[in-house]
Amino acid sequence: MIVALLLSAASDSAVAEDGLFFGQDDWYEPYEPPPSLPEGIQGVVRPDANAAALQRIDTIREVFRALQACWRPPSGSGHSGQEITLRLSFKRNGEVLGKPRITYYKPGAEEEQREPFTRSVREAFERCTPFPFTESFGAAIAGRIFAFRFVDARPM
C-alpha cells in the first residue's frame, strides 16, 4: 500500500513537471495594457454674465463652469467671432501645471481685437486659479490634459 502511494505521488510530480497539471503555462499571463484614456478632456467656454462662481469643484463639468464664471471677454462691438483653444494641465491643488499652450486661434473680423481677446482668456485663468478642487477630484485629474476652447459668439 505504501508503495502504491509513493508511485502515485511520483507520477503526479512527473505530470506536474511535464506541465500537464500546473505547469508554467497555466501561471503565465501575457501583459495586456489597460485600455487607453482619451487624448484629453475637452470643453467649450462661452461668455455668460450670469455664471456664478463655484466654492468647490468635484466634477469635470464644474471646471468648465468655474472658468466660464471667471471669463470676461473684451467689451466692444459684441460678436467678434474669435476662438482660441488652450491645452494645459492642473496640479492636484488646482494650480495650472506648466505653461498653457495655444493650439488654435481663429481671429475675428478686426485685427486689433486679437490682443484684447487673448488677454481676457489669460486673465480668466489668473482670476480663477488655483481652482478649489476637492481632494479626491484633484488627485484624479492632476496632470491630465484639458483643452479649453473659448468662443466669443455673443450677439451684436
Q: What is the pLDDT of residues 37-64, one digit of tens each?
A: 556 788 889 888 788 888 999 999 999 9
pLDDT in tens, 79-99: 667 889 999 999 999 999 989
Domain boundaries, the chain: 1-32, 41-151
CA–CA dist 130, 135 (Å, integer): 13
46, 151 contact by CB (below 8 A): yes
- Does residue 18 surpass a pLDDT of 60? no
Q: How far is CA 60 from CA 46, 65, 76, 118, 142, in A?
A: 16, 9, 31, 23, 12
Cα separation, 81 vs 100, in Å, equals 22
The C-alpha cell at 73 is 471677454
The residue with greater pLDDT, 49 or 26, is 49
**CB proximity list for 60: less than 8 A, separation 6 or greater:** 41, 43, 141
